Amino acid sequence: MGMTAAEKARSGTREWIFQRIANLAIVLYALVFVVSVISLDNMDYASWQGLFGAVWFKLYSSLTLILVCLNSILAGWQIGADYIKAEGVNKTYNLVVKAGSGIYLVAGLAIFWLV
């Protein structure tokens, strides 16, 4: 079996480091989100709209969403490689994971920026 360029470029160390950085960014986002919600004066629609309408919050949320989606693709690939040995099923599984992550990303970005 030949290896593709993507498989040759894979590095377990780089993937592990990326996952740790992405997970740290997700935890930091959760902390910023909780502190922002707690610091709201009123828990009404206008306050929520003000929080989610701020450009800094949209950018930070978008970046975190991108990291979540990339992390889910990597995690899906790792799960598929460990537990799904049939090549056709593994490729289908990875395609579903990538499509799901892509849909999640597009929907999330649309919600952040268009709604």
* Residue 8 located in a structural domain: no
Helix (H, G, I), strand (E, B) or coil at 88: helix
Is 104 within a domain? Answer: yes
Q: Worst-scoring range by mean pLDDT, 2-11, 61-70, 106-115? A: 2-11
The span from the CA of 16 to the CA of 74, in Å, is 10
At 25-52, the pLDDT tens digits run 999 999 999 999 999 888 898 998 898 8
The whole-number pLDDT of residue 5 equals: 60
Asked whether residue 69 is assigned to any structural domain, the reply reads yes
Residue 3 reports pLDDT greater than 80: no
Q: In total, how many domains does the chain have?
A: 1
Would residue 1 count as lying in a domain?
Answer: no
Q: Confidence class of residue 7 from pLDDT cuts 50, 70 and 90?
A: low
Q: Is residue 5 part of a domain?
A: no
> Residue 97 domain-assigned?
yes
Q: Nearest-CA neighbor of 19 among 76, 58, 59?
A: 76
Let me know if residue 47 belongs to a domain.
Answer: yes
Q: Residue 68 sits in which domain range? A: 15-114
CATH number for the domain harbouring residue 43? 1.20.1300.10
